[in-house]
Amino acid sequence: MKVKNLRMLYRKILLCIGLLSFIYSCNEDLKPSFSDINITTSNNKLVEVNLPKAIGDDSISSKINSEINKTVAAALQIGEQDSATTKTVEESITLFNEEYNAFNTDFPDVSLPWEAQVDGEVMFQSVRVISVSITSYVNTGGAHGITTISFLNFDPSTGKRIQNNEWIQNKEGFKSIAASYLEEAVKEDGVLFESDNFQLPNNIGFNESGVILLYNTYEIAPYSTGIIEFTIPIEKVQAFLAF
C-alpha cells in the first residue's frame, strides 16, 4: 500500500514539474516572430530585396520593421545615405530604377547596367535582444560594387532599437578585449594595427557564439582588405554588458 502511494505521489510530482515547465516555456516564447519576404515593384528590373519581417504585436513589430526599412532605404540611396528621403522600400526601389533610366538617357554610350541586392536575416533572438543583419550590394556602373553590412539590435519587449552605448556597460573594458581580437583577426591581412587609435565599429551584434564586431570596407583598411569581422565568445565580455 505504501509503495502504491509513493508511486502516485511520484507521478503527481512529475506531472507538476511537467506542467510548470510547459507554463515557463510558454512565457519564454520568443516574440515577435519573423517571416521572410521579397519586396519589389511592377517596373523594377534592377533591385532584389529579401528581408525578415517582424510579425505579432503590432506596436513592437512596426518599430522593428520601420528600422529595417530605413536601413534598406539608406542602402539604396544614390549619393549620401544620410540624405535618403524615401519612406518605404518600394519607393527606394522605384527611385533607384528612375535614377538609372535618367543616367542611361543622358549617357547612353558609357552607361553600364546598375544592380542592387539587399538581404536581411535574424542573426540572434532571445528574450533580451534581437540582432538583425542587413547586407547590401550596390553597383551603379563603376569598376566594382560596394558591399555594406549593417547590424540592428532590438529590445524584444518594446521593439526599440538598442544603440551600442546602451548595452555596453563598461566601454573601456569591452574595448580592451575587442582590440586583442581585432589584432588577431587582421594579422594575416597585413593591416597595420595601432592599439592607441583603436575604435569600436558601428556594427556590433550577437549570434549563438557571442558578440560579432564588423568593420565595413574602407572603415579601417583599404578596399583590398574587404570586410573585417570577428566574434568574441560571450563569456569573455559578459561582465562588460548591461544584459
pLDDT higher than threshold 60 for residue 216 = yes
Whole-Å CA distances, 10 to 13, 15, 22, 41: 5, 9, 18, 62
Buried b (16+ CB within 10 A) or exposed e, 197-216: eeebbebbbbeeebbbbbbb
The chain-wide mean pLDDT, for the chain, equals 86
Contact yes or no for 154/161 (Cβ under 8 A): yes
Residues written for the chain: 243
Asked whether residue 230 is assigned to any structural domain, the reply reads: no
Asked whether residue 3 is assigned to any structural domain, the reply reads: yes
Domain count, the chain: 1
Question: Which is it for the CA torsion 165, 166, 171, 176, positive or negative?
Answer: negative
What is the pLDDT confidence band of residue 165, given thresholds at 50, 70 and 90? very high
DSSP-derived 3-state class of residue 220: coil
Asked whether residue 142 is assigned to any structural domain, the reply reads: no
pLDDT in tens, 17-37: 554 454 444 445 668 999 999
Burial of 72 (0-12, 13-18, 19+ CB in 10 A): buried
Res 164: pLDDT: 94
The residue-averaged pLDDT of 104-129 equals 92
Helix (H) or strand (E) holding 156: none
What is the pLDDT confidence band of residue 185, given thresholds at 50, 70 and 90? confident
**Per-residue cell: 82:** 544620410
Chain-centre distance of CA 166, in angstroms? 16
Contact yes or no for 86/78 (Cβ under 8 A): no
Amino acid 199 reads Q
Res 195: pLDDT: 67
Res 231: pLDDT: 97
Asked whether residue 99 is assigned to any structural domain, the reply reads: no
Asked whether residue 163 is assigned to any structural domain, the reply reads: no
Asked whether residue 2 is assigned to any structural domain, the reply reads: yes
Q: How far apart are CA 240 and CA 152, in angstroms?
A: 20
Res 142: pLDDT: 78
Contact yes or no for 161/133 (Cβ under 8 A): no
Contact yes or no for 96/186 (Cβ under 8 A): no
Amino acid 95 reads L
Q: Residue 5: which domain range?
A: 1-30
Sheet holding 115-125, edge to edge: 33-39, 47-55, 115-125, 130-139, 146-154
pLDDT in tens, 85-97: 667 999 999 999 9
Asked whether residue 87 is assigned to any structural domain, the reply reads: no
Specify which residues 48 forms β-bridges with: 117
Asked whether residue 15 is assigned to any structural domain, the reply reads: yes
Q: Is the pTM of this model over 0.85?
A: no
